Structure 1
Amino acid sequence: MAIISEHHVFLSEDANVGLQTRLKDAITRAIWDGRFAAGDRLPATRALARHLGISRITVSLAYDSLLATGYIVSVARSGYFVASDAPTRIEGVAPLGAALVDHVDWQARLGPMPAALGAQANPPDWRRYKYPFIFGEPDVSRFPVDDWRDCVRRALGKRHFEQIAFDARDRDDPFLLEQIVRRSVSGRGVAAAVDEVLVTAGAQNALWLMVQVLFPKRRGVVAMEDPGYPEMRNLLRFHGLTIHPIPVDREGMKVAEIPDGVDAVFTTPSHQAPTGATMSMARRKALLERAEQDDFVVIEDDYDYEMAYASPALPALKSLDQRGRVAYVGSFSKSIFPGLRLGYLNADPRVIDQARAIRTLNERHPPGLTQKTVAYFLSEGHYNSHSRRMRMRMARRNEVLREALARHGLTPALKRATGGTTLWLRGPVDMIDTEVVTALREKSVLVEAGSAFYAGPDAPRNRLRLGFATIETALIADGVALIAEAIAELG
């Protein structure tokens, strides 16, 4: 039950209709629209009359009329409440006091809908599936909630409250910037200064900002991996850019196939999205050499670098960059939890200044409380401890998943993975991934169709991506058995 404020009641300005009728119609319409819900308490007659500048008897008469028609009920010494069986929508009639008018042709004004979330997006009800082999959702049962709660308390302490409560304009939390420089990018071999870092609302926001910075006129030529991150491709398409899909293999993006004339290259070298391949050192050096030779910039999405467990992680492209050509995108949304929506951009100070100016046009800065909390989570060592525990857990799940697949004769595309939380599965030649996905949902198994990650309609149809960050280790073998069964049944 909510208490409806008198400030939420609005009278029409139709002078041809009496005040009592206008007030009754205003409350009726609010109930129809769902703004006033069953059980909500209406304003007291005196307070509403004073707010609207009308007599109290007018309000009382309007309430009496609503009582008579069953829209509200009266409770002795408590007031008036929206009835539990009051209508919540208009059925076949126009709004009271309003003439029938044509609606704005929004379709003509808006144009085509941008492709926001691709076919690989997890269904909203993924939690009801017993075997969720999906990517991007956390294992919340293992998250150090008590440590996080302590960091929130410290962020809300008196010494910080003024800072997080006031408008920071276009500035980021200096404590968080310091921690990102000292404890995040430094772990990737990057020597950065605080003026080279911008805090963003996750990696996706950082990628969006880089597109705005590089292509303000919505013209340009870019290259990205194929298969690759669908939301990145959708973003580039939405901005009207020409995209060259570059194939990948077990060493990552095939740098030699990047055509001449590109302005930027988008890549995920640590764990290629979606195959999980790690770009070799030779390819990393070749990419930077091509960037210098052909004068393009590189946007490095290092979304899952913390999950390097099978071998020491290779240094970030940004750490090898001597000419400021690499813009590095990091994220805490995967390593802490996705609902956090916090990431960062590390690039040349001039790029950061430009991105900061663009950021102020739509969000000014990420929430101060979130920034301060993450800063403490990093500084107190909770982030590194949590990441270490997750690496050990993901290494074990990766091993269990590969063993289960081998027992059923299923072959991962990569014989050995350096890390990550997904596995790229190559099925039989005649397999159709979307049919397998649909069939498995009937068995309470969620997997991702590989074709959703390719740029063109001729994408291979015998690929699946299996995530293992969310599914319990003990359920992996049974889930794989169901996957193998569905593939065999549809073969």
Structure 2
Amino acid sequence: MHPFEFPLDLPGRGSRQRLQALHTQLRAAILDGRLKSGLRLPATRELAVALGLSRNTVVAAYERLLSEGYIEPRRGAGHFVAALGAPRTGTPVDGAGVAHRLAVPWRAAHVASPAAPALAYDFRLGSPDPGLFPFDVWRRLSMRAWRNAARTALGYDAPQGRRALREAIARHVAFARAVACGADDVVVTCGAQQAFDLLARVLVTPGRTVVAVEDPGYPPLRDAFAAAGARVVGVPVDAEGLQVERLPAQARVVYVTPSHQFPLGVTLSPQRRAALLDFARTHGATVIEDDYDSEFRYGQRPLEALQTLDRSGSVCYVGTFSKCLFPSLRLGYAVAPPWLRPALVRARQLADGHGDPVAQETLAAFIAEGHLARHVRRMRRVYAQRREQLLQALARHGRGRLDVWPSGAGLHLAATLPREREAARVAALAAREDIQLEALDGYALGRVPPNGLAFGYGRVEAADIDAAVRRLARLLD
């Protein structure tokens, strides 16, 4: 049996070039990464038998590689490929010289690094508290889903998502947000971000489609549509949400976070909701309603979702379970109007076929058996306490320094700073004091970004909030 997964082309018996050929080809395999660092090479006797060589030939080849530093011996264990750094993949090429091979939006692509370890006072955005999730319940439901999967012989699944999960989502959003839909209206996605990517694929004609987004707003949505070839235009936000009167007439897609604007936290007013739906109907535009964390509401009746108010099939409602459960679950959904749904399902099929059926069955049971509703009720109380502590601390220590934007839902608050205090600089100084904050200008498209900070309270303990804000206030002084 050949000991390697790649062929070795050796001269026939009697040739004096067999040693040279073996050495050269093993060295090439090490250099180009086919034989990876740390891999144990076959014993000399074993390799000699497999290749029809004398053992002395193999020993001599190994000795050459050893003297050149390509392999290393380990007492009692044999020979191993040495660590040589990154494998060579061909002739080095200057990045600028091959940039034309990439589509324009990807030539300056930047991959976000994994999140750094959290600081002591963790006010990062979009992160729920993982320590309070009922993992014992999730584990039990997951094991049941796996047992059922083993009995039904898993094959390719439906790109629209498991029927049980779509039915559970339809019931959930009808109860929680009065969104009128059935299972057939729901398309399950790998998080809300995949929903945005699929919508960009089916709604954008490259170079022609104008997409209006909130400014400041959610950068990954902007990036998904820009990568699809759209012209992305920022529209200002104030205390009533998106300034609908400033929408460009040529906009054919409008993205909004009406329940809890990201990142300022304000709610889109009833008058502007009506005006936005009228704009969509008049101009033939599609509204993407991102309802990312409105399960958590505090002391006020929520306004109806745009999808509930829509009478012209203009709204695609997007939701996620990343905020009410945990982000690594990677399950979201879109409630799409009938004209949009077939294209969305086909795009999902072309993108990745379908999602994880076991995770979908687990979540379906988690919702159907009432665990999601119970967990949301519990976490709403926890987050309400943290939010109140944060508001009190900002009022107590931040008066004259931090002006809080009105917000009645979600997992974060935003506050503006005096003009002379640059938010990015304050956030950097806060990090040195073990306080993790985000500056609002990182979410802006416009030339005059908001000067302020965002405070997520999903991961910070209520008992730590006052001390953190007091320390921040000292920095501002």
Per the TM superposition, whether the score is higher than 0.5 is yes
Equivalent residue number for residue 267 of structure 2:
278
**Partner of residue 80 from structure 1, selected from 46, 60, 78:** 78
Letter in 2 for 1:88: L
Identify if the C-alpha distance between structure 1 residues 39 and 392 changes in structure 2 by more than 3 Å, giving closer, same or farther: same
Q: CA RMSD in A?
A: 3.3
Equivalent residue number for residue 419 of structure 1:
409
**Partner of residue 143 from structure 2, selected from 153, 160, 163:** 153
Identify if the C-alpha distance between structure 1 residues 332 and 128 changes in structure 2 by more than 3 Å, giving closer, same or farther: closer
Question: Residues 328-339 of structure 1: matches in 2 within 5 Å?
Answer: 328-339=317-328
For 2:421 and 2:10, how far apart are their aligned partners in 1?
A: 65
Letter in 1 for 2:99: Q
Equivalent residue number for residue 131 of structure 2:
141
Residues 437 and 446, structure 1, Cα contact 8 Å, conserved in 2: yes
For 2:86 and 2:333, how far apart are their aligned partners in 1?
A: 47
Letter in 2 for 1:300: E
Letter in 1 for 2:417: G
Equivalent residue number for residue 162 of structure 2:
173
Consecutive unaligned residues of structure 1, counting only runs of 5 or more, are none
Equivalent residue number for residue 454 of structure 1:
444
Deviations along 1:254-313, whole A, 9 cap, x unmatched? 223223232121100111001111122332222212222332221101111211123232
User: What SS class does the counterpart of residue 198 from structure 1 fall into?
Assistant: strand
Deviations along 1:50-102, whole A, 9 cap, x unmatched? 8x7654746565446556666243655xx53527xx342389xx89xx8x676
- Residue 341 (structure 1) aligned with residue 330 (structure 2): yes
Deviation at 1:35, TM superposition (A): 6.6
For 2:377 and 2:101, how far apart are their aligned partners in 1?
A: 50
For 1:90 and 1:396, how far apart are their aligned partners in 2?
A: 50
What's the % identity of the aligned pairs? 36
**Partner of residue 433 from structure 1, selected from 416, 419, 423:** 423
Question: Residues 216-295 of structure 1: matches in 2 within 5 Å?
Answer: 216-295=205-284
Q: Which is worse superposed, 162-171 or 417-426?
A: 162-171
Equivalent residue number for residue 207 of structure 1:
196
Deviation at 1:374, TM superposition (A): 1.6
Aligned length: 468
Question: Residues 11-26 of structure 1: matches in 2 within 5 Å?
Answer: 11=8, 18=17, 20-25=19-24
Deviation at 1:245, TM superposition (A): 2.2
For 1:128 and 1:44, how far apart are their aligned partners in 2?
A: 47
Please report the TM-score for the alignment, with normalisation by the length of structure 1.
0.84
Identify if the C-alpha distance between structure 1 residues 431 and 354 changes in structure 2 by more than 3 Å, giving closer, same or farther: same
Identify if the C-alpha distance between structure 1 residues 190 and 44 changes in structure 2 by more than 3 Å, giving closer, same or farther: farther
Question: Residues 303-318 of structure 1: matches in 2 within 5 Å?
Answer: 303-318=292-307
Deviation at 1:209, TM superposition (A): 1.1
- Residue 109 (structure 1) aligned with residue 116 (structure 2): no
Deviation at 1:413, TM superposition (A): 3.2
Deviation at 1:464, TM superposition (A): 1.0
Identify if the C-alpha distance between structure 1 residues 103 and 230 changes in structure 2 by more than 3 Å, giving closer, same or farther: closer
For 1:130 and 1:297, how far apart are their aligned partners in 2?
A: 42
- Residue 467 (structure 1) aligned with residue 456 (structure 2): yes
User: What SS class does the counterpart of residue 340 from structure 2 fall into?
Assistant: helix
Identify if the C-alpha distance between structure 1 residues 30 and 402 changes in structure 2 by more than 3 Å, giving closer, same or farther: farther
Consecutive unaligned residues of structure 2, counting only runs of 5 or more, are none
Residues 164 and 368, structure 1, Cα contact 8 Å, conserved in 2: no
Question: Residues 56-135 of structure 1: matches in 2 within 5 Å?
Answer: 57=55, 62-63=61-62, 65-66=64-65, 71-73=71-73, 76=76, 80-82=78-80, 86-89=82-85, 105-110=97-102, 111=104, 113=106, 124-135=114-125
Q: Which is worse superposed, 26-35 or 131-140?
A: 26-35
Letter in 1 for 2:98: W
Deviation at 1:363, TM superposition (A): 0.8
For 2:21 and 2:141, how far apart are their aligned partners in 1?
A: 52
Identify if the C-alpha distance between structure 1 residues 339 and 102 changes in structure 2 by more than 3 Å, giving closer, same or farther: closer
Residues 412 and 423, structure 1, Cα contact 8 Å, conserved in 2: no
Deviations along 1:133-168, whole A, 9 cap, x unmatched? 1112232111211111112101101x3236573122
User: What SS class does the counterpart of residue 225 from structure 1 fall into?
Assistant: strand
